[in-house]
Amino acid sequence: MSVRVIVVDDSATMRSVISATLRADPEIEVVGQAADPHEARQLIKQLAPDVITLDIEMPNMDGLAFLDKIMRLRPTPVIMISTLTQAGAEVNLRALEIGAFDCVAKPSSYAPDSFTTLAEKVKAAARSRRQPRLATSRPVQMAGGYTPDGRILGIGSSTGGVEALITILSKFPANCPPTIISQHMPPTFTKSFAARLNKLCQPEVSEAQEGDRLRPGQIFLCPGEMHLEISGAHNPAIHLSNAERVNGHRPSVDVMFYSLLRAFGKNSMGLILTGLGRDGAEGLLAMHQAGAETIGQDEASCVVYGMPRAAFEIGAVTRQLPLERIAERIISSSNALRREHAV
């Protein structure tokens, strides 16, 4: 059965490009096109699409306001189609927090192949689980104390990762384990996302830079289009590179996990969250086999149970947990390890 899509964009040319891209996939049917939210609202009522592609900047009502109405009144998977600008990054992140499935850049000289994965993302959106909207107005710290144990945490995420990371990191105490994150995200988005996380979390969150030192209470988000690795175990520092893509991605979660393993062995911890594909599965398996604790987000709480499924199916995951329990497990596990070493 085909995935039924409505394309919403004020540009007739862009509507044609998006529609042609999607119609090239035999599993997708474009059932309607709209030039603005008012027109789109009628089509959505009449056609009940499986997925909507939505431009952010439109006349009569901007895409964010319309997205908010869709999520509240008729929840439907939405893929935002936007420009890759710094100002646009803020808006796209807000769209993901409101409930958009993903954001895809409009083709440009900077991102000429941005629609290559559009059809795949539309089909994944149709299969996705719509999660409750986030309440992210203020950080919520976990009850109980935490004493750093020397472990380093690596987190890999992709589609659905914005919501998942906010949920987990906003519960971390101010002196959380040193944490590095590889989230599949365009380069103009990561700086804005790190700033957003920093406002919502007790620890310090920033976009990683070459030579940053890993210390308790610090969380580093890998810049888009860069790989993140760790050099040195005694005074660990971040190394960034634009080496070839791995698993089709840069940053690659596998690159980060293998680096953690080389630097810290079993004194590392790996977490893999919602996302398409299987990036991170092999690296997490290597960590697990070395004795490191590895956690996977469970199927019920994932927007897309792709990366965690791949890791689980090859035996890379020590335990699977729902999103709401992951922060507690990370902190309680670190406390337990510290007590074990103190005996």
pLDDT tens track for 51-82: 999 998 877 778 899 999 999 999 999 999 88
For 76-134, the pLDDT digits (tens) are 999 998 875 556 678 888 898 888 999 888 887 666 778 998 999 999 999 987 654 55
DSSP percent split of the chain into helix, strand, coil, nearest 5: 40, 20, 40
Q: Could you tell me if residue 134 is inside a domain?
A: no
* Residue 264 lies inside a defined structural domain of this protein: yes
- Is 90 in the same domain as 197? no
Name the domain boundary from 110, 127, 144.
127
> Are both 199 and 239 inside the same structural domain?
yes
Residue 139 falls within a domain, yes or no?
no
User: The tokens of 190 are what?
Assistant: 């990561």
Domain count, the chain: 2
Residue 111 sits in a domain of what CATH number? Answer: 3.40.50.2300
Output the six-digit token pair for 114: 């941005």
Of 128, 157, 158, 301, which is the active-site residue?
Answer: 158
Catalytic status, residue 10: no
Average pLDDT, the chain: 89
Question: Are both 117 and 158 inside the same structural domain?
Answer: no
Would residue 143 count as lying in a domain? no
User: Which of the two residues, 268 and 342, has the higher pLDDT score?
Assistant: 268
- Looking at residue 85, its pLDDT comes to 57
Q: Which of 9, 128, 157, 184 is catalytic?
A: 184
Last residue of a domain, one of 77, 112, 127: 127
pLDDT tens by residue, 162-209? 999 999 999 999 999 999 999 998 888 899 999 999 999 999 999 999
Range of the domain at 107: 3-127
- Shared-domain flag, residues 102 and 247: no
In a domain, 316, yes or no: yes
Instruction: Check pLDDT > 50 for residue 318.
Output: yes
- Ramachandran category for residue 221: left, alpha or beta (phi over 0 → left; psi -120 to 50 → alpha): beta
pLDDT in tens, 120-173: 999 999 998 765 455 444 445 554 455 566 789 999 999 999 999 999 999 999
pLDDT number for residue 63: 86
Q: Is residue 95 part of a domain?
A: yes
In terms of domains, do 156 and 118 share one? no
Q: In the chain, pLDDT over 70 holds for what percent of residues?
A: 89
Q: Is 239 a catalytic residue?
A: no
Residues 121 and 235 in one domain: no
In a domain, 282, yes or no: yes
Same domain, 119 and 197: no
pLDDT value at position 143? 45
Annotated catalytic residue within 9, 55, 279, 298: 279
